[in-house]
Amino acid sequence: MMDRLDPRQSLQGQSSPALARRPLRYDDRYRCPVCYYGELTGMTLMESFGCSFCRHIFTADLPTQVLRLADNTPALSWRWDGQRWRRRHGTDMDFGPTVVILGTALVVFPTLLVGLAVYLFPPLPDAPGAWFPPVWVGLTGISHLVMVLWLAGESYALPLYRALRVLLSRQFTLGDR
């Protein structure tokens, strides 16, 4: 696998002015803009790239030096500046009010429903499991928040989520060797 490289270096570890600004081509290799770990290589008999680590497929517009993630909705895209990928921000990538309201509802309503059940049917104070209902309400809120954050991270390819995902996958794959 590849060693950790400076973004200004090529994948072979050479840093020179000739390699510093290179155009996007199908017969070259690039660092993956999604996982920042794998390398993109041209796929045989296709005008697309594939990542060796995260297994995403990308389509490229070579004249404009734009790379689009083909297997994701909304379509994420990056512009190649000759050294590294620059994220292209479109209007479809913004967290609109609908996404925020829906995410908040997915966290708040189940937690309120479980909390209402605990309030209406409280356990006996001297019962051995009296501590469990409030803990269950907290676990409901935390688990739904984790699910919403996971969906947002997967859908919008948030940088913190991507970094955490690569870090955890490296941790578990290196432990198996």
pLDDT string in tens for the chain (177-residue length) = 444 444 444 444 444 444 457 888 888 899 888 877 788 998 888 888 998 887 888 988 888 889 888 877 667 888 888 888 888 765 455 667 888 899 999 999 999 999 999 999 999 989 999 999 999 999 999 999 999 998 888 777 776 787 787 778 777 776 554
pLDDT at 90: 59
pLDDT at 168: 81
Q: Are residues 111 and 151 in the same domain?
A: yes
Domain membership of residue 131 (yes or no) is yes
Q: Are residues 108 and 164 in the same domain?
A: yes
Across-strand partners of 88? 77
Q: Are residues 43 and 69 in the same domain?
A: yes
Domain that holds residue 62: 17-92
Domain membership of residue 10 (yes or no) is no
The domain total for the chain is 2
Q: How far apart are CA 7 and CA 20, in angstroms?
A: 10
Q: Are residues 32 and 48 in the same domain?
A: yes
Q: Are residues 80 and 105 in the same domain?
A: no
DSSP state of 122: P
Asked which of 40, 58, 92 is the last residue of a domain, the reply is 92
pLDDT at 10: 42
Asked which of 92, 113, 138 is the last residue of a domain, the reply is 92
Domain membership of residue 8 (yes or no) is no
Domain membership of residue 35 (yes or no) is yes
Q: DSSP letters of 24-87?
A: --TTS-EE-TTTSSSEEEEPTTSSEEEETTT--EEEEETTTTEEEETTSSSPPEEEE-SSSEEE
**pTM of the complete model:** 0.59
Q: Are residues 27 and 38 in the same domain?
A: yes
Q: How far apart are CA 83 and CA 127, in angstroms?
A: 65
Domain membership of residue 32 (yes or no) is yes
Nearest to residue 150, comparing CAs of 161, 138, 139? 161
Asked which of 68, 92, 116 is the last residue of a domain, the reply is 92
